[in-house]
Amino acid sequence: MSGAGGITRTRQDIAAGDIPVDTPRLPAREAAESELSKPMYHENDPNFLQRALNQFWDWVAGVFDAAARAAPGGPAGLAVLVVIVIGLAAALWWRLGTPQRSARNTDALFDSTGPRSAAQHRATAEAHAAALRWTEAVQERMRAIVRSLEERALLDPRPGRTADEAAAEAGRTLPEHAARLRAAARSFDDVTYGGRTADRSAYLSLRTLDLELDEAKPLLPGTSRGATG
């Protein structure tokens, strides 16, 4: 019934406690979650990796924000501290060398468990050469060269010295043989670290250099090249 009678009837129903029933909150939320869980609503969502990366970068940003608030001078002070830390790390890297180089230096030239004389290295080299093991012969002959220079006090004994370092140091004392010392060091590096195989000529070259160095006169400090001989 319309009009005033309808309004009066509605007020009477409400007064009598006949209040319209709303949908309860919990079932409504469950219905909404069920609807939103459908695949059609998640086609463009980031995958697991993207979500993990986003969380990681959010964490990094939070760390930098916290550091910037704690650092003197705020973000500018933090930038200065970062530059200082990078500079110190670069200085240590340059001074101590890379970890790979340090690990390699421990057995770069002499890999035996105890020190051996030049004569022992020469004997081992000759044994390898007799068996046509030219790679091992080249390695042992280079060790014999360096050990001989150490025994003659032309090189200071130093654990971890590489063939290149030994050649460079010896070349300053024996300048007439500097180029051949560098070539010998390259041959050692090629067969030891470069995966190359030595041959008879490579070994004979080192053998000849070893014999010549044994008779060579060093360039003493304060002496010019022309005064040697």
Residue 145 has pLDDT above 70, yes or no: yes
Residue 72: is its pLDDT beyond 90? no
At residue 137, the pLDDT reads 95
pLDDT at 89: 79
Looking at per-residue confidence, does 198 or 86 come out higher?
Answer: 198
- Among candidate residues 31, 10, 8, 32, the one with its CA nearest the CA of residue 19: 10
- The dihedrals phi and psi of 196, each to the nearest 5 degrees, come to -85, 165
Q: How far apart are CA 227 and CA 48, in angstroms?
A: 76
- Give the mean model confidence (pLDDT) for residues 122-140: 95
Contacts 24+ apart (CB under 8 A), 125-133: 125/203, 125/207, 129/200, 129/203, 129/207, 132/200
Detail the DSSP E strand segments found in the chain: none
15-43: average pLDDT: 62
| pLDDT of 45 above 70 | no
Output the pLDDT for position 101.
44
pLDDT digits (tens, 9 = 90+) for 27-40: 767 766 676 666 66
pLDDT band at 11 (very low <50, low <70, confident <90, very high): low
Average the pLDDT over 59-80 and give the result. Answer: 70
CA 100 to chain centre: 7
pTM reported for the whole predicted model: 0.52
Mean per-residue pLDDT over the chain, rounded: 77
Stretch 164-181: mean pLDDT: 93
Question: What pLDDT score was predicted for residue 133?
Answer: 96
**3-state class (DSSP) for residue 18:** coil
Check: CB of residue 134 under 8 Å from CB of residue 200.
Answer: yes
